[in-house]
Amino acid sequence: MSVRHFLSLLDLTTEELRGLIARATELKRMHYEGVEHTPLKGKTLGMIFEKSSTRTRVSFEVGMIQLGGHALFLSPRDTQLGRGEPIEDSARVLSRMVDGVMIRTFEHEKIERFAAHSRVPVINGLTDLEHPCQLLADMQTWFEHRGDIAGRTVCYVGDGNNMCNSYITAAQRLGFTLHIACPEGYDPDPDLMQQAGDCARIIRDPREAARGADLVVTDVWASMGQEDEQSQRRQAFARYVVNGALMALARPDALFMHCLPAHREEEVSTEVLEGPQSVVWDEAENRLHAQKALLEFLMA
């Protein structure tokens, strides 16, 4: 049987994705009730981080421990990956020792090459193209606060980056409409847009995109690896700020999400981030529960 990977939300069927979201909420409840659940006893997750992380690292490591397993933090700084050992060789070696591998890296193609040579499931912990684990947590958060998301309208404001791309895949799988407000030159991935068809469309004016939205989402203007473009991006995105005036155009009961870390008074005002419509702390917590559901699905 060929091994399942999670490089994109599109690696799951709609039914599987819905099942994972429901399971995440169940695992959360079990955790709160103190129920011990250790289906990954004796199993190890290798975690390769070529970029910084707080949430992803801690949630995967704690998640593995709670499920009875163990996680290994592997940095290119002190493994042979950082000294040029081919990714294919690293995949073949590591996957003979661990039971799953999570990778955070730059080029998406790198994780695809790793997965193609891995005997064990590979999980995308963020690439330049996608951040699917974050979407599991975001969707769990939406379902917990508001129920089903099918037929709803989500407005993504800002850069057409990995978060935006993963929202496009979520719209396709879960049947919501995605309005993307991004400046010209910062569009999301055209192939993902094309695959999503009518589910996702670009609306340049953030005010028009936010009108009537059920959920407003944003992310940083300069992602990891784009630090040099910071000042140029500050200019390009000056109009793409989620503040009280923008939220007022969305539905009165609209929620606000941000994968974090956030830059207050850049992509989002403090008023919105800390306000009553913001669910960013639940969203961050749900990284743990959603990924436990994913680890159980792929590795148990």
Q: Are strands 177-181 and 153-157 parallel, antiparallel or unpaired?
A: parallel
Residue 156 near residue 167 (C-beta atoms within 8 A) = yes
Which of these is catalytic: 259, 277, 289, 291?
Answer: 259
User: Which amino acid is located at 270 in the chain?
Assistant: T
Which helix (H) or strand (E) is 122 found in, with range? Answer: strand 122-124
Name the residue number minimizing CB distance to ligand CP: 56
Q: Which span sits near ligand NVA by CB under 6 A: 70-78, 175-183, 219-227, 267-275?
A: 219-227
Give me the sheet containing 100-104, strands edge to edge.
70-74, 44-49, 100-104, 122-124
The helix/strand/coil state of 102 is strand
- Contact between 168 and ligand NVA (CB under 6 A)? no
131 is catalytic: yes
Which of these is catalytic: 128, 179, 219, 233?
Answer: 219
Return the number of the residue (199 or 242) whose C-beta is nearest ligand CP.
Answer: 242
Return the number of the residue (233 or 287) whose C-beta is nearest ligand CP.
Answer: 287
Question: What Å distances lie between residue 174 and 79, 127, 137, 152, CA to CA?
Answer: 39, 22, 14, 10
169 is in an annotated binding site: no
- Contact between 223 and ligand NVA (CB under 6 A)? yes
Q: Which does 54 bind (CB under 5 to 8 A by kind): ligand CP, ligand NVA, none?
A: ligand CP
Q: How many Å apart are CA 109 and CA 129, to the nearest integer?
A: 9
Which helix (H) or strand (E) is 76 found in, with range? Answer: none
The contact set with ligand NVA (CB under 6 A) reads 126, 161-163, 219-220, 223-224, 259
Residues known to be catalytic: 104, 131, 134, 219, 259, 287
In the annotated binding site, the residues are 53-56, 80, 104, 131-134, 162, 219, 223-224, 259-260, 287
In the annotated binding site for carbamoyl phosphate, the residues are 53-56, 80, 104, 131-134, 259-260, 287
